[in-house]
Each structure stands twice: as structure tokens, then as C-alpha cells.
Chains A and B, each alone.
Chain A
Amino acid sequence: MEKPKRRVGVFSLVLLLVGLPFLGHQANAASKPIVIGAPLATAFLYGWDAERAMKLAAEEINAKGGVTVGKEKRPLKIEAIDTRDLEPGVPVSDALLVVEKLILEKNADFIVGGPVRSEAALAAMDLLSKYKKVSILTTGALTPKYHQRIAEEYDKFKYCFRVSGEVGWMVTGEFLPALMHIKAKYGLNKLFIMVQDVAHARGGGDAVAKLASEKGWEIVGKEIYPTGTTDYSVGLLKAKRENAQVILIWMDMPESSILLKQWYDMKIPALPFGTIIAAAEQPGFWKATEGKGEYCMASVVNAGNAPSQATPWTMKFVDAYKKKYGLEPEGYGTSSSYMAVYVLKDAVERAGSLNSDAIVAALEKTDLMGVYGRIRFNPKNHQVIPSTDPKEGAVGTIFQWQAGKRVVVFPSTIAVGEIKLPPWMKK
């Protein structure tokens, strides 16, 4: 009696084990999620805000039934892994391993977000090309080399897109016009440059200095600070001695808040303009500096990263983010990561499949009024088309801290306030 019982038991167990995957497959077949792999430096602002924004967009889309792929509705699933590529000393290869892990182990259908550091993003292009994975870069990397490589080797890198800004446009289309606006409004023309000792900041500082001097600005000094600098007093005193009127800051290190605190305490009579100043972007900056960051101007790259009425969708996004996370969109990478998910949804629905080549063709035809204006990609280099008018393209945002609020002051098409000078600058 014992043997037949045991046989039945073993047979049932084998049947169960063999059948389980099929049961699971049956259960999931109707709603297999579309996996969006997100390689992000999640310990840093440009990473965690992107992850939050992508999850918000996915939740909104899933709440409305998901993405229509052909005849079926499929939900979105965000798989984020920390690339650590913004941490000092972490090699680029670590970020590449993350991208590969997302593709091979997490079975990501698309890669959205990073890698965040330019060097890592550029290196990841070859990997994306190898696996034919459509990717939309949304945060961190501002290097023009990204879209230049796509234009130069289109067939190889056609799977790569960037929906956020790039430094070429930011300097010529936003920072310089903002400086000219300050010049025209207040008659200021002496510029002091303070940048971090990293490639993008040095390059950006040099570019602004060259172009600004051609437009009538006098460059009265330039200081390059190593990452981690905790004292800017001597540089600030140099700026004061040289009668600088605007201090252009390009730093993504957290210690840049010390610079602003010292600027305030020393009452340096020059307007701080943070073309890139990660410390001042976040809503918590005001409290963190006890108001000493007032009058600091900061670029957050895309509209929607600070409240404005750029498009009807902008404040809807700001409010939704605030409702879910308890604070306004935090800075560069937030609105672009949110939009990337919607852009992808739109492309998948038009393509009717997840086939990479079909998605590339659909993305190239994207024309969507989004959070920061009209979203279209240049079909030759896959860079989002920028503009200062949200009806024409993706608009940027430069805000100024005024009475505890991030008041958008540039471009004028979306500005909600005027640039103000600190009281110790007024004659």
C-alpha cells in the first residue's frame, strides 16, 4: 500500500513543479508588463528625482489601463538600479554593468533615465547599440557629444534619444540671453566665473566666458575649485576686489551651498547666477541655507522642475508630484524623466509593437505637447528640439530664489517674476 501512495505523491509533485511556470505564464499572459529599465545614480538628486518621476508617470498610465500594444493593454513596470556614476572614484564600467543587468536579467524592454554622468552615458551607447535597446536619456548627461555621435553614426546609435537638455543650447539659447537680459535691465557687465574642477563645468565656464565677452561682458576673473572645496572666501574677495557684478557658478557638488552662504555672509555685491548649481535646485535649499540663498539664480534645465505655467500640463505635473512625494519637483531630471515615460507610451501605441526599429521610427515622429513644451526629436541626432517658446519646442527654466520660493525668471515666455538684485548691490 505504501509504494503506490508514494508514487502518486511523487507524480503529483513533479506535475506541480512542471506545471507551475505554465500556470504563472497563463496568469501573466494577459498583462505582461512592459519593463522600463532605469540606470540611475539614485543617491543623488539627478538620480532619485528621475526615479520618482518615472514611477509617478507609470502609476498614472497604469491607473488608466496601461499602454496599448496592438490590441492588448499592458502595464508599465519601472526597474531602477543604482549606477553610482555620480560618486567620486566609481568607474564607468560599474554603470555599464548596471545597464547590461537591466537588459539581460531584468529583461528591460527599454532603457530610460541614465547613466547620469556624461562619460558613462557615452560609453553605454555602444551597449545599447549591441542589444538594439531603445533608450531615452533624461537626466545628468549634458554633453553635446551624445547627439553628435548619433548624427555621425546614425545606423549604429539610432536607438539612443535624449529628451532633456544639452549644454550647447543651454549656453547659447538660455544662459547668454539671460545674461544679456540682466545687462539690459540693470546695466551690469562684469562677470566673475566660479566653476568646479570637472570637465563639463570647466568647458561650460570657458564657453560662457568666450561668448559673453563677445557680447560686451568683461570677464574679471575665473576660479576653478576642486570637488569638495569647503571655503570660497578668498575667491569671493577676489570677485569683490575686481568689482564683479555677476558671479557665474557651474558646480554640481553639494559644497556649492557653502559658496552661497559665504556670499551672503560677506555681502559680496554681485548677483550669483548658478548655470549649474545642484545645491540650489532643490526645494529644501531655502531651509537648508536659512534663507541665505536668496537672490541666487539657478537653471533646472527643463521647465516643470520648478512651478510655472509653461503648458497646461506643467502645473498638473507639479501638483501630482507634490501630492505623491510631499514636495515640488526637485530639480534637473524630474520633468524630463516623467515625460520620457509618456513619450515612450505614445511611441509604443503608434508603433503597435515593442520592436526596436518600429519604436525608433515612431519616436522620430513624436509631436507631443508635454510638461515643458512641444516635444519633438531632431530625426538626425535624436536630441529633443529646444526653444524658448513652449509652443515650438522644449523650454528650459532659470529661476531665482525670492522670499523662500523658486520664482521662474527666464525665459520670458514662461517667467512668473522678474530678476531682483540683493539690497547690498543697489546703489
Chain B
Amino acid sequence: MDILIYGIINSFSLALMAIGFTLVYGISRLPNFAHGALYVVTGFLVWSLINLLKLNYLVSILLALVIMGLVGAAIYRFVLIRVRGMATSEIIATYALGLAILEFLRWGGFKGMTYTLPVFIEGSVTIGGIPVDLQRIIVIGIGIIVISFMWLFTHFSKTGLAFRGMAQDEHAAMMLGIDSDRMAVIAMAMGSILAGLSAIALLPLGNIVVEAGYNVLILSIAVCIVGGLGSWVGAIIASFMIGFLQIITVAYIESHFQMVVALLAIIVTLILKPSGLFGRQKELEERV
């Protein structure tokens, strides 16, 4: 029972971390290596709004998400637009940006282990004899809401349908009048908001530290590679695979192998099916 409950929680945590990364890549083929940094920035931003500006928690969250959206859009508009289409330069630019953000935070005094966000609801419940704190149940709730929203958005909204068009064939989408740069700006903004949302859901479970940025990036990449780069459905399924495998490893093998699971998943995927579970575009390229 504990494997089932904590497996689901771990899977939704991974899905929340990775969905923003996969969205940006899926729409605009931009590997946003600053994703982990944006996650950490959101945490410190909310903390600062609550503790320095004394704003209400909910107001701080909403304000932080808006700011993150603007930051994401600005990253594309002022940095990535200049290297768009040059894969290596995109990776270098986003990784450098992520490093700069994280080191700037450290330089700015955000170091130590005492930066935390409050949990949404205090307390815990017992499910099938297993105690679970309410914040982790909220993580599942937020995960379901985000996944549902993404499905509805990409199937029923004009922008969402344009996203899918871009993801399927950018040039064809452009011929039909879809503005590629505009879509990329919106994708980066949404990706940053999703990174921020995952931070807001997950950081109350622990503390906000700069190093978390690197871990989030590694886990997001692992999920996206296994699921198939750019496929958010694949990312969700990969989250569940890695999430459960990690918990099973802790329960039946040894806890110190749990990080290896994610990295091993990358290697196995790249050897057996480099396109990942649902990386259709890449799969087509591989066949050709």
C-alpha cells in the first residue's frame, strides 16, 4: 500500500517538474536548460513576497506566476530568438542562463537551509494504514488539474491547437498563418509558469535551495527523454514509470539507487528507443 500511495505522489511530483520543460520543447523545439533555475527562482520569489513585502500567500503565488510568465517570455524575446534553430547554441544559451540565475541567487544571499514556503493545509491523513501529509495529497490534486488543463487547452483553445500544429510541423503551421515566434514566446511563458507552479506545489515539502535547480533539471530531462522529447503525454507516462520504479527501488533494493533509476532510464531509452516512448517526430526521423 505504501508503494502505491507514495509511488503516485512521486510520479505526480516528477510530472509537475517535467511538464513545463516538455511543453517548451514540444512546441518550439527549444531545450530550456534554465528550467531548473526558473523553478528555484519561483520559490525565492514567493518567499520574498511573503516575508519581505508581507503579501498574502495566495497573492504572492499569483504574482510570482505572472512574473515567471513574463520572465519566460523575456528569455525567448531577448535571448533565445537570436539562436533559434541552432540546437547547440540553444543548449549553451539556456544552460548559461540557468547557471547565471542560480549563481546570482547565491551571490544575492539566498543560501542556507532556512528558506521555506508554508504548506497549503497543515495535517496528515491515514490511507489504508499509511500516514500521508495533506500537502502531498495537494500535489496529486495540482498534478491532475495541470494535466487536465493541458489536455483541454491543446484540444479546445485556438492557441492550444496552434501549439499542436507547431509541434507537428512548424513549417506547415507557418504556411497556415501561425506566427512561430509568437507561439514560442507563449510556450516559454507557459513553460516558466508550469516550472513555477511545480515549485509552489513541491517546495513546501522541504526547503528552497539553489542546488535544487540542478536536480529538477536532471529529473525533467530524464522524464522527457524516456517519454519522448516534446510529447507531454509521454512525459506523464514516463513520470509514472520512473516515479514507481524509484519507490520500488527504495522499498525492495536500496534507497541509494533511487537517483540511479532516473539516469539509468535515460541510458536504456537512448540504447533501445532513442525517440522515447512517444517521440513521434524523432521516430519518423529515425526511420528515414
Q: Please list the residues of chain A having a beta carbon within 8 angstroms of any beta carbon in chain B.
A: 43-45, 48, 87-88, 197, 223-226, 228-231, 233-235, 237-238, 254-255, 257-258, 261-262, 265-267, 278-279, 282, 284-285, 287-290
Contacts and interface: CB of A to CB of B under 8 A. Distances in A.
B215 A228 contact: yes
Contact of A262 (B133, B214, B250): B133
Given A228-B215, A237-B2, 8 more contacts: A230-B202, A234-B2, A254-B113, A255-B206, A261-B133, A261-B205, A289-B116, A290-B116
A283 B72 CA distance: 36
A289 B256 CA distance: 25
A45 B112 contact: yes
A209 to B, nearest CB: 15
B3 A282 contact: no
A265 B124 contact: yes
Contacts of B9: 231, 233
Interface string B154-191: 00000000000000000000000000000000000000
B118 interface: yes
Interface in B118-157: 118-119, 122, 124, 130-133
A224 B256 CA distance: 5
Nearest to A268: B131
B259 interface: yes
A266 B131 CA distance: 5
Given A43-B111, A287-B114, A231 B207 contact: no
Interface string B247-260: 10011001110111
Interface string B14-41: 0000000000000000000000000000
Contacts of B3: 234
B93 interface: no
B130 A237 contact: yes
B211 A288 contact: no
A254 B211 contact: yes
A168 B64 CA distance: 48
Interface string B97-114: 000000000100001111
B113 A257 contact: yes
A48 B207 contact: no
A230 B208 CA distance: 12
B6 interface: yes
Nearest to A259: B206
A254 B209 contact: yes
30 contacts: A43-B210, A45-B113, A48-B111, A88-B214, A224-B254, A226-B255, A226-B260, A228-B215, A229-B255, A229-B258, A230-B202, A230-B215, A231-B9, A234-B247, A235-B250, A235-B255, A237-B2, A238-B251, A254-B209, A254-B211, A255-B207, A257-B113, A261-B205, A261-B206, A265-B124, A279-B207, A282-B114, A287-B114, A288-B116, A290-B119
